Structure 1
Amino acid sequence: MRVLLLGFGNVGRQFCEMLSVKANFLKANYGLEVCVVGVATRHRGSVCAANGLPVEGLLKTEEETGRVDVWEQPYSVGQSVDELLESCDYDVLVECTSPNIETGEPAADYIRKALRGKHHVATSNKGPLLFHFHELTEIAAVNGVYFLYEGTVMAGTPLFSLARCGLAGSRIRRFEGIINSTTNYMLTLIAAGSSFDEAVRDAQRRGYAEVDPTLDVDGWDAAAKVIIVAQAILGMPVVGFRSVAVEGIRGITPYMMDDARRRGVCIKLVARASLDEEPSISVKPEAVPFSHPLASVEGINNGALLLSDTIGEISIIGPGAGARETASALLRDLIAIEMGGKVLER
Structure 2
Amino acid sequence: MKVSIIGLGHIGKAVLGILNENKKLFMERYGKSIEVISVSDSKNTVYDKNGLDLEKVLMYKQRNQLGELAENIKFDEIYSLESDVIVDMSPATKDGIAGMKLYTSAFESGKNIVTSNKAPLALHWKEIMEGAYKNKKRILFESSVGGGTPLFNLNSYCLKSSNILEFKGQVSSTINFVLSQLLAGLDFNDAVKTAQNMGIAETDYHDDTNGLDGARKTVIIANALLNKDYTLNDVKYDGIENLKDINYMKESGKIYRVLSHIKNENEITIESKIFELDRKETLACLDSLSMGYLEKTDNNDDITIFEKHDGPLETAAQVVNDLLII
Q: Smaller-chain TM-score range?
A: over 0.9
Query: Is contact 1:47-1:76 (8 Å) kept?
Result: yes
Change (3 A) 1:18 1:285: same
Distance 2:132 2:83 in 1: 16
Residue 330 of structure 1 and its aligned partner are, at CA, apart by 0.7
Correspondence 1:193-204 to 2 at 5 A: 193-204=185-196
The residue correspondences of 1:301-312 to structure 2 (distance < 5 A) are 301-312=290-301
Shift of 1:320: 7.0
Counterpart in 1 of 2:14?
A: 14
More divergent stretch after superposition (46-55 vs 311-320): 311-320
2:26 aligned partner: 26
- 1:276-315 aligned at under 5 Å gives the runs 276-315=265-304
* Alignment length (residue pairs): 325
Equivalent position of 1:49 in the other structure: 48
Corresponding position: 1:333 with 2:314: no
- Check conservation: 2:262, 2:271, Cα contact below 8 A: yes
Shift of 1:12: 1.3
Q: TM-score if structure 2 supplies the norm length? A: 0.93
Q: 1:243 to 1:145 in 2, by over 3 A?
A: closer
Q: How far off its partner does 1:328 sit? A: 0.8
Code of the aligned partner of 2:34: V
Structure 2 Cα separation of the partners of residues 226 and 206 of structure 1: 25
Root mean square deviation, CA, Å: 1.9
The one-letter code matched in structure 1 to 2:123 is F
1:5 and 2:17 matched: no
Query: TM-score under structure 1 normalisation?
Result: 0.88
Cα offset for 1:204?
1.6
Aligned to 2:148: 156
CA distance in 1, matches of 2:65, 2:158: 41
Task: Name the counterpart of 2:36.
Answer: 36
Following TM superposition, the consecutive aligned residue runs of length 4 or more in structure 1 with deviations greater than 4 angstroms are: none
The Cα offsets for residues 267-324 of structure 1, whole Å up to 9 and x where unpaired, read as: 1112212222212211221211223221111131122111211122212111674221
- Residue equivalent to 2:249: 257
What are the Cα deviations for residues 80-139 of structure 1, in whole angstroms up to 9, with x where unaligned?
222221x21101111111111x32121211111111222121100001101222322232
Measured against aligned partners, the alpha-carbon deviations of 1:165-196 in whole angstroms (never above 9, x if no partner) come to 22222111321111110122223334444444
Give 1:26 deviation, angstroms: 1.1
d(CA) in 1 for partners of 2:142, 2:53: 26
> What is the distance in 2 between the residues matched to 1:32 and 1:3?
12
Q: Distance in 2 between matches of 1:334 and 1:248?
A: 34
CA–CA distance in structure 2, aligned partners of residues 291 and 155 of structure 1:
25
Distance in structure 1 (CA, Å) of the matches to 2:159 and 2:175: 29
**SS of 2:38's equivalent?**
strand
> CA contact under 8 A between 1:184 and 1:301: conserved in structure 2?
no
Matched with 1:89 is: 82
1:342 matched residue in structure 2: none
Partners in 2 of 1:236 and 1:279 — Cα distance? 11
Question: Is the contact made by 2:222 and 2:230 (CA closer than 8 Å) also made in structure 1?
Answer: no
CA contact (8 A) 1:173 1:234 kept: no
For 1:244 and 1:141, the matched residues in 2 are separated by 25
SS of equivalent to 1:113: helix
Q: Which runs of 5 or more residues in structure 2 are unaligned?
A: none
Structure 1 pair 235–202 and aligned structure 2 pair: CA distance change class (3 A)? same
DSSP-derived class of the 1:233 partner: helix
Structure 1: stretches of 5+ with no match in the other structure: 338-346
Identify which range, 243-252 or 19-28, moves more after superposition: 243-252
Whole-angstrom distance in 2 between the partners of 1:97 and 1:206: 21
Measure, in 2, the Cα distance between the counterparts of 1:321 and 1:282. 23
Query: Equivalent residue of 2:87, what SS?
Result: strand
Q: Identity of counterpart residues, as a percentage?
A: 29
Q: SS of the residue aligned with 2:66?
A: coil
Residues 1:316 and 2:305 aligned together: yes
* Distance change in 2, residues 1:299/1:267 (3 Å): closer
Q: 2:23 & 2:144 partners in 1: Cα distance?
A: 24
Q: Which residue of 2 aligns with 1:344?
A: none
Structure 2 match to 1:244: 235
